[in-house]
Amino acid sequence: MKKINDSNIYLSVAIAALVVGLVVGAVSYYSIIIVEPKVERLLAATEDVDKNFKQAYLILRNPQIFAGYGNFDAEGISVKNSLAFFDKKIYYGDEIDSTRKAYLELLLDRREKGSTLGRNTAAFFIVLSLMFCTLFIHERRSANL
């Protein structure tokens, strides 16, 4: 009976897992390296607080891929309330003062948790890809024997 050669399946899954891992990792590391430090600088500003906080909110309003605001968990209720509050402030042009900084930090924390989850997910897919590469190599070697 002829042995089935699964090397094409292993190679395909390895490539797919690697691509997913790289895309998710790129998005997460962009957030970790560029977006989150920028927001932290805006929140740490002592001058022109209203302008900086509004800019920080507008950045945080578009969430990181794993920190979406559409599906709320138990911790997300405070995020939902913060979004509604800041949306009204932005819409009516009201000032955002330094007493509201904690709510912006809550949104930033949510984004940071999403970035961490994205980084860990990317690592999982890359390890999965390495596992399938190992299976691919093993299958090729055993097929040649």
Task: Please count the structural domains in the chain.
Answer: 1
Are 21 and 132 within 8 A, CB to CB? Answer: no
DSSP 8-state secondary structure symbol assigned to residue 72: -
Per the prediction, the chain carries an average pLDDT of 89
Examine residue 1 and state whether it is found in any structural domain, yes or no. Answer: no
Q: Which two tokens stand for residue 8?
A: 């094409």
Range of the domain at 75: 7-144
Phi, psi for 46 (deg, rounded to 5): -105, -15
Are 63 and 109 within 8 A, CB to CB? Answer: no
Spatial distance between the Cα atoms of 145 and 143, rounded to a whole number of angstroms: 6
pLDDT attached to residue 124: 98
Examine residue 47 and state whether it is found in any structural domain, yes or no. Answer: yes
Examine residue 75 and state whether it is found in any structural domain, yes or no. Answer: yes
Alpha helices in 67-100 (DSSP H): 76-92
pLDDT attached to residue 132: 96
pLDDT attached to residue 58: 92
Mean pLDDT by 10 residues, the chain (145 residues): 77 96 96 95 91 93 78 71 88 88 90 93 98 93 76
Spatial distance between the Cα atoms of 104 and 38, rounded to a whole number of angstroms: 13
